[in-house]
Structure formats: structure tokens, C-alpha cells
Amino acid sequence: MEKDPAARYQTAEAMAQALSSAGTHPKTPSEVFHAIEADLSNLAETARVLEQQIASLKTRVARASAPPPAPPQKGKRSTGSVQKLEAGPFVRIPPGEFTMGTQYGAWRSFWANAGDERPAHHVRIRKAFEIGVYPVTQAQWEFMMGFNPSGDRGTKRPVESVSWNGAQEYLLRLNALGDGYTYRLPTEAEWEYAARAGSVADPEASRDNAWLVGNSDDITHDVGQKQPNAWGLYDMLGNVWEWCQDWYDASYYRSSPVDDPPGPSNGITRVIRGGCFRDFAARPAKRNCFSPGLRLMSGGFRSVRQPRD
């Protein structure tokens, strides 16, 4: 092919002849034309897809960056049945013991990040607790907070674009109801214990029980549409990440206590679990972390409650 602008091809025949002599196909003017036409069509389709993705990302960033509206005025909520909307259904998780973390070899660490999941260690949950059957929904969040930060809107979809700090504010308001329970985030150990639901293995998510890259269409979905785990919990894997109470420390498992691990006493990031609709795979033992002030576009949470003493 000519590199000198003065020697560029004046006709399609000249270009085809040069392509042929260079051992490059197509060889005829007609094939050259159709190849260029196909390339232009592919470029146009790629540009269209990129334009849609950029527009979607801009919308999400704008919603995540916008300051929340003023909270609703106090004193206007009734009690009784409406509290079911605010708190949601819960499942009682019994005390028990399990092996937390994983002990996989390097072949799986590419996607498992097995370094911070090791060593597998014995954990004992000594007190029963109740955990939400579903992640907190947008209807629940908006009722309590007066606004909806989510990018993918739907009253039955999990609330997302929520920071750890935002989850704490929601739980603070929930506790102000005075319904006889104390609401909080699960500890990392409680979350994994509930997600495993008595399984000794570290089961991988499937299309039957999780919204992931292969079936989510890059959006969140209404809670409760996939199969629950053995303890009746939906969407523990996939759909949205779920904040836990703990600070994150990649080496915490090396010194974690057996009884009711509370997590590190301090840190920079908070633990988040379960994977989301943009992940290719998810497992109960998979760990992740983000800054507590980050309104993660795929980040949500579910509540834990215990009777007040």
C-alpha cells in the first residue's frame, strides 16, 4: 500500500491491484467496495452501542452525584401495616457454626481473589438474628428517606447507588420507629453464614438464583424473581452488592476470632458482598470493599434486626 500522499491510488482498480499484489483480499473493485461498506456498517453499529452506553452512564453518574432532596417532615407516618413496607419481611437465622472463607488453589484465584478469602476458618454464630428476605427495595427506601437515588427505577427493585453511610442513615430512621427491634447491617460473618444457608461448599451462583452478566441485560431486577437459598433468602448473590457492617482488611481472616467475628476495629473501606448484575460470577465467600462514602451504582444492602433488650 502506498504511504506517500502523492502516490495514492486514483481508481478502485489501482487499489485492488495493489491489494492483490500484497496478498491481501478482496481483490476486485466490487469486493473492495463491499468490504468498505461492511466496515462502515460495523463502525456505525459500534458507535450506536457506545452512544447508548455513554448516555446510560451519564444518567447514572448524574443521579449518583445529585444532592438528595430534603428529607420528609417527621411525624407523618402511621404505624401498623405500613411498617411492613418500611422494614420488610425477615427470616430468623438460627445460631450455628460454619467454615468461613475458601481454601482454593491459584487456578481459581484469577476471579475468586482467593488471597483475602484465606484461610478458611471456623466461625460460630452464637445468637439468632433476623435478616431481610430481600435487599431493601426502592419503595422501602423512598418511604423512609423521601427520595430515590437508584439508576434503574422500579418500586420492587433493590435500591442502589447507596453508600454505606446512606444505609446507616436509613437504619437510623428505621430504629426511630420504636417497633421493638434494633435494625443494623449484618456483620460479614453473619452475611456469609446466611448466604451459605448451611452449605459446606461455596456454591457458585447460577441463572436460576442470581442476576448476573449472562441474564441481567445490564440492569437490576425486581427482588424475589430468582430461586431462594435453603433458608428462604432471595438475591443474596447477584442483582446488587450488599453492604456489611465491617471494616475491610484483606488479612483479617488470619486473626479472626471464632465467636461472632466483629471485623477489624478500624479501616479505610467497608465490606460489601454478594456480587451484582454486572458480574460474571458470584459466590458466598467472595469479598469486596469500597469507601463508606461511595454511592456505588450497583450497591445496595439488606437489614438485620434483633429484639431490643
CB atoms within 10 A of CB 128: 12
Q: What is the pLDDT of residues 63-75, one digit of tens each?
A: 555 444 444 444 3
Same domain (yes/no): 191, 52: no
pLDDT of 309 = 80
Residue type, 31: E
pLDDT of 68 = 47
Q: Are 155 and 222 in contact (CB under 8 A)?
A: no
In a domain? residue 62: no
pLDDT less than 50: residues of the chain: 1-3, 5-6, 24, 26, 49, 66-83, 105-112
pTM above 0.85, yes or no: no
In a domain? residue 63: no
Same domain (yes/no): 250, 107: yes
Q: What is the pLDDT of residues 93-147, one digit of tens each?
A: 999 999 999 986 434 444 445 589 999 999 999 999 999 999 999 999 999 999 9
Q: Which domain holds residue 224?
A: 68-307
Same domain (yes/no): 237, 150: yes
The set of residues, in sequence order, having a beta carbon less than 8 Å from that of 59 and lying 6+ positions away, is 151
Return the DSSP state at 217: T
Same domain (yes/no): 72, 171: yes
CATH of the domain at 118: 3.90.1580.10
Same domain (yes/no): 112, 24: no
